[in-house]
C-alpha cells in the first residue's frame, strides 16, 4: 500500500514536471500544436514524446518486420496501437508476431487499407479512413499518429536508364561497389543485397570510397603514361 502511494505520488510529480516543461516550451517557442510536431521530429526526448502520445491512439500500417516491431515499440508511449494490414496474416518473423499478439495494447485490423488521413483544423492527424479490401466497407478510425511501413522504393529513377538495376530499381554492383558504369559506385540501401542495415551501408561506403580512390589513381597514372609516351 505504501509502495503504491509512493508510486502514485512519483507519477503525479513526473506529470507536473512534464506539464511544466511543456508549458515553458510553449511560452518560448509557440503554440502546443507546433510543440507536438517539434517534439515528434527533433527528438526532444522520450519523456515528451510519451506525454504527447499518452492516452491517444496511433496506427501502424504494414505486416512485415518493421511494422510489427514498430507497433510493439509504440505501445511504450501510446495507450492503443492499431496495426492495419491489407492481408489476413503477417509477413513478420514468428518471434515478432508472437510478441505483438501477446501485447494487449495492439489491436490488429486485417484485410484493410488506409484510404485517407484526415486532419483537424490545426493540421494535426485526427482520423483515418479505412477500407476493408474484402467487403469494400469503409469506416473511420480515430488516430492521432500514423506510422507507415509498407516497403521501400530506392530513389534511383534519375539514373535507372543508364545503370544496371533489378526489377525494383536497386543498383547492381560488383565486389568493389562499382556499378555497370565505370567510375560510378553505389553503397548502402540503394544496392541489390540481402541485408539493409547501418552496418552494411557503412561497410559498403568504406569499400566504395577506397575503390573510387583506386579508380581515380589508375586513371591518373594511365593519363601520365599517355602523356609521357
Ligand X SMILES: Cc1cc2nc3c(=O)[nH]c(=O)nc-3n(C[C@H](O)[C@H](O)[C@H](O)COP(=O)(O)OP(=O)(O)OC[C@H]3O[C@@H](n4cnc5c(N)ncnc54)[C@H](O)[C@@H]3O)c2cc1C
The total number of residues shown for the chain amounts to 229
In the structure grid, which three cell numbers stand for residue 16, read together?
507536473
18 near 48, Cβ under 8 Å? yes
Task: Find the binder of ligand X among 199, 226, 228, 229 (CB under 6 A).
Answer: 199
DSSP-assigned states of every residue in 31-48: -HHHHHHHHHHHT--HHH
Q: How far is the CB of 125 from ligand X (least distance, A)?
A: 18
Task: Find the binder of ligand X among 86, 126, 172, 196 (CB under 6 A).
Answer: 196
Q: How far is the CB of 81 from ligand X (least distance, A)?
A: 15
Query: Among residues 103 and 156, whose Cβ is nearest to ligand X?
Result: 156
- Tell me the residue number closest to ligand X, measured at CB: 188
Q: How far is the CB of 153 from ligand X (least distance, A)?
A: 11
Task: Find the binder of ligand X among 44, 141, 201, 212 (CB under 6 A).
Answer: 201
66 contributes a contact to ligand X by CB under 6 A:
yes
3-state secondary structure of 136: coil
Query: Among residues 46 and 120, whose Cβ is nearest to ligand X?
Result: 46
Count CA atoms closer than 13 A to 213's CA, side-chain side: 5
Query: Among residues 14 and 155, whose Cβ is nearest to ligand X?
Result: 155
107 near 131, Cβ under 8 Å? no
Question: Cα separation of 78 and 81, whole Å?
Answer: 7
> Given the rule CB under 6 A, which of 49-57, 115-123, 132-140, 192-200 is the region that contacts ligand X?
192-200
185 near 164, Cβ under 8 Å? no
The pairing of beta strand 57-61 with beta strand 80-84? parallel
Per CB under 6 A, contacts with ligand X among 147-166 are 155
Query: Among residues 70 and 128, whose Cβ is nearest to ligand X?
Result: 70
189 contributes a contact to ligand X by CB under 6 A:
yes
Please enumerate in sequence order all residues whose Cβ is within 8 A of that of 56, keeping only pairs 6 or more positions apart, or say none: 78, 79, 144, 145
Query: Among residues 105 and 196, whose Cβ is nearest to ligand X?
Result: 196
188 contributes a contact to ligand X by CB under 6 A:
yes
Question: Cα separation of 150 and 139, whole Å?
Answer: 21
Binding site for ligand X (CB under 6 A): 66, 155, 188-190, 196-199, 201
Amino acid at each position: 500500500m505504501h509502495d503504491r502511494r509512493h508510486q502514485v505520488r512519483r507519477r503525479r510529480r513526473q506529470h507536473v514536471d512534464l506539464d511544466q516543461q511543456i508549458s515553458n516550451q510553449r511560452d518560448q517557442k509557440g503554440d502546443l500544436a507546433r510543440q507536438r510536431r517539434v517534439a515528434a521530429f527533433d527528438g526532444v526526448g522520450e519523456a515528451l514524446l510519451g506525454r504527447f502520445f499518452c492516452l491517444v491512439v496511433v496506427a501502424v500500417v504494414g505486416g512485415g518486420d518493421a511494422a510489427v516491431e514498430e507497433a510493439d515499440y509504440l505501445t511504450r508511449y501510446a495507450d492503443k496501437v492499431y496495426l492495419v494490414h491489407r492481408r489476413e496474416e503477417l509477413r513478420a518473423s514468428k518471434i515478432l508476431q508472437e510478441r505483438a499478439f501477446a501485447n494487449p495494447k495492439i489491436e490488429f485490423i486485417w484485410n484493410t487499407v488506409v484510404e485517407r488521413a484526415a486532419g483537424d483544423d490545426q493540421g494535426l492527424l485526427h482520423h483515418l479512413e479505412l477500407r476493408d479490401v474484402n467487403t469494400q466497407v469503409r469506416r473511420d478510425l480515430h488516430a492521432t499518429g500514423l506510422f507507415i511501413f509498407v516497403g521501400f522504393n530506392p530513389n534511383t529513377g534519375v539514373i535507372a536508364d543508364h545503370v544496371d538495376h533489378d526489377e525494383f530499381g536497386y543498383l547492381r554492383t560488383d565486389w568493389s561497389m562499382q556499378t555497370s558504369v565505370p567510375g560510378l559506385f553505389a553503397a548502402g540501401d540503394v544496392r541489390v543485397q540481402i541485408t539493409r542495415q547501418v552496418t552494411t551501408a557503412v561497410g559498403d561506403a568504406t569499400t566504395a570510397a577506397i575503390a573510387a580512390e583506386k579508380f581515380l589513381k589508375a586513371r591518373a597514372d594511365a593519363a601520365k603514361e599517355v602523356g609521357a609516351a
